[in-house]
Structure 1
């Protein structure tokens, strides 16, 4: 537990103090956000606001994670240090953040709404996603557990929802496809949510807070430590290290939210949204809560579905729309809701989704007993 306190506090301080430094640097360089002309007119006043703030989120996370392990190692030389699960999760988070950074940099340097070409962006995200999936199936510990498994999971691996052909090339390919589907969905969900001051950051704090609690619970009920016969346990590799990363993300995002809340002094950009989406997907896969993510990240799912519904209906109806504008948060803006009102009410929805998911997670354990 001391690791969680150290990691979260370090990330909070680094983000809280590092964000204004980045703001000054970006303002000096003239790296401001490009605003869509077809969006809500109230957003035009945000043109030129510094972006790429996600660099602070990812940087604070990485420094806090490794610094925490270093501090614990200096205090106790028997401390095992960073784990395989933590390493592959950081790889996915930082890798997606790098793709987002390239996208942001092209946008602001060329002052256009299109950054990386769609094909290039998909290829780069695919490379990061495939690398994560392959590495997550390796590095077994003393109990033979790898960071990820080939079973599809809800609150733990579901035996009858396996990807089949475990241990074969076909099984590996199926897992890579499944893993990348989750990563793509999560990154797009967070990216679409990041449209109003503080919306994505605040909602993400709740999601990562839930994963921190899940990691602590899985650690305390790990199959490697629970000795009572018949006890329900969790076969998750390195659950406490996953909780550490989730806690560091909570601290980092709270520090960033101080400057990102309305009126935002900085935006996270694709650097932040893709990194956060990668971290959410990675935590779902590594904590064996893949299907639970649909409920846990319910706000991201809702906003993503609004875009899908809008596009499909527009094409099938010959130009008609279900919403005034998609993603969903802009629909309510155009209906006359103040931006802060939309953000707070959407935070409430995010909180209810997280509460429902945690209830399902804990309820399964109670019933399983």
Structure 2
């Protein structure tokens, strides 16, 4: 029997609560030992800031996994120990090497090797893509070798996407919180339609990812008192990759809502994570055209462009959070209603948000100034 929603909410509360308590403690440790990020030409923060926030989130993750293992409701999920253990080890690899990169600076090949190692651990533990359903086409059953490659590439892509979007205070954590909760809500529908087996670990990992992100946000919103760092970004990317692989890569049966347009299981995470996915694709294209290294840092990411348009730090973050929430609605609304045309409402809202994003700064600049020098 699958765990109930109440059990998942308990795990969510533990993940958020432990992360909330651990973050200030980790911040003090980071300050004491000098693990700080200094302002520079490619960063937007203006003061030296602690950078070990990923460690606090990892502690929340371990606590939530421990509570879930202790609760009898999750016995079916932990009946096979290889998948939970594989996810914990993969997350540990990412947080250790990512945190080392925050402190000592790793080379780009070393970072990729770390992600490949984490993806390999997931695949060998059984957290792997078994079925790949593409739009219009039938489900493809992957061979063992191809499943391994797809799983590793998926983790590398998601982890890098989260890391690249982590450029403004609270941006990456907020997007992961929205995405994790959305993946969990989506999994409830999969379970109701008997497409997702009761022992699937994907919903548990998704709700924990959302929980640790929510618990971290109070210390990370503008002006951030601590950053998640590469360790935190890679760690959150690993959780999202593991949860989406478990839910989307195991499902071969279609159901109403999933089959409309492009709603194949493995494409749904790309829709929900549209902001970081588009950002990483644009970064690769931009740097390739400029004939620079793909890993070369710059200030041309989506959030930088919003600020260049005239949106402030907080408004830029809110716009991208709202865009992620609307894309999540674009997935969940037709999935729960079973009506393909239901995407028109959230799609229209996305269009309105895009128009606001582009034209609001222009209208403010053209507005007549009052006596105080502000737009009338």
Report what 1:104 is aligned to.
102
Please name the residue that 2:22 is paired with: 18
User: TM-score scaled by structure 1?
Assistant: 0.77
Contact 1:89 1:283 in 2 (8 A): no
| Residue pairs, 1:173-192, within 5 angstroms | 173-192=145-164
How far residue 150 of structure 1 moved from its aligned partner, in angstroms, is: 2.6
Aligned to 1:66: 66
Separation in 2 of the partners of 1:220 and 1:335?
A: 44
Q: For residues 178 and 148 of structure 1, do their structure 2 counterparts lie closer, same or farther at Cα, with a shift above 3 Å needed?
A: closer
Instruction: Give 1:297 deviation, angstroms.
Output: 0.9
Residue 216 of structure 1 pairs with residue 188 of structure 2: yes
With CA pairs under 8 Å and 6+ residues apart, which has the higher RCO, 1 or 2?
Answer: 1
SS of residue in 2 equivalent to 1:116: coil
Identify if the C-alpha distance between structure 1 residues 152 and 81 changes in structure 2 by more than 3 Å, giving closer, same or farther.
Answer: closer
> How far, CA to CA, are the matches of 1:87 and 1:154 in structure 2?
30
Q: Once the 2 structures are TM-superposed, how far is the Cα of residue 148 of structure 1 from its aligned partner?
A: 3.8
The alpha-carbon deviation at position 249 of structure 1 amounts to: 2.2
Structure 1 position 133, deviation (Å): 1.3
The residue that corresponds to 1:312 in the other structure is: 288
SS in 2 for 1:152: strand
Q: Among 271, 284, 307, which residue is 2:244 paired with?
A: 284
C-alpha distance after superposition, 1:238-274 (max 9, x if no partner): 23x4323322222221111011001000000011100
| 2:89 aligned residue | 91
Structure 2 residue runs of 5 or longer lacking an equivalent are: 249-264, 293-297, 342-376
Structure 2-normalised TM-score? 0.76
8 A Cα contact 2:77 2:198, kept in partner = no
Distance 2:39 2:133 in 1: 39
Q: Counterpart in 2 of 1:204?
A: 176
Distance (whole Å) between structure 1 residues aligned to residue 333 and residue 18 of structure 2: 32
The alignment's C-alpha RMSD in Å is 2.7
TM-superposed deviation, 1:237: 6.1
Hey, what does 1:117 align to over in structure 2? 107
The alignment status of 1:153 with 2:127, answered yes or no, reads: no
Distance 1:242 1:235, change over 3 A: closer
Unpaired runs of 5+ residues, structure 1, are: 107-114, 137-146, 164-170, 223-233, 317-323
